[in-house]
Amino acid sequence: MIEIDDTIISLDLIECFFHCNLAQCKGECCVDGDAGAPLEKREFDVLRKLLPVVWNDLAPEAQAVINKQGVGYIDRDNDIVTSIVNGKNCVFTCYDTAGICKCAIEKAYYEGRTDFRKPVSCHLYPVRITKYKYYKAVNYHRWKVCRAAEVLGEQKRIPVYRFLREPLIRKFGEEWYNALDTCAKEYAKR
């Protein structure tokens, strides 16, 4: 484990390799799971305001869920998460012509329709953050859906933390990321 400020970071972030391989997984991480994507309170409010921007990119089933229960709900762990369709898809999913699941929010971001990229938990995936009383645990979440990303990451020799440089900086700041990078380089010398 590595400790930086109020975070405890799993060594998996520097020991394991990762590089998304959408051609293989088809964006399954936005579909498979037992709840929606974790949201910060501020993000929940942003998504509600952003809804008109992405509405036409959403599936009719997602629109119906949003009309009934909103963009998010409180899950069994008492966390705010995005609403899901039929116990699977995040309501903000959309599909490209190749059948790859994408994020309608991120699509709008790349098209210049919003300055909000997507919830930070989605941007950080496969890293998950668990908040405790005195610290935040920063862990690599491994599951079968991302096996192709692990293989590609291994081929390219890209550690998880380097692949997630931008979202880690977004969440914790550049100084925090630089400290993690320094720790990773020192660890590699061992």
Band of the pLDDT at 46, cuts 50, 70, 90? very high
What are the beta bridge partners of residue 139?
A: 128
pLDDT at residue 76 in the model: 87
What are 100-103's contacts with CB under 8 Å, separation 24+? Answer: 100/22, 100/23, 100/26, 100/27, 101/26, 101/27, 101/28, 101/30, 101/31, 102/27, 102/30, 103/30
pTM as predicted = 0.88
Average pLDDT over residues 121-125: 92
Average pLDDT over residues 131-139: 94
> What's 16-36 look like in SS3?
CECCCCHHHHCCHHHCCCCCC
pLDDT at residue 174 in the model: 97
36 neighbors 82 (Cβ within 8 angstroms): yes
pLDDT at residue 25 in the model: 77
Band of the pLDDT at 155, cuts 50, 70, 90? very high
pLDDT at residue 4 in the model: 95
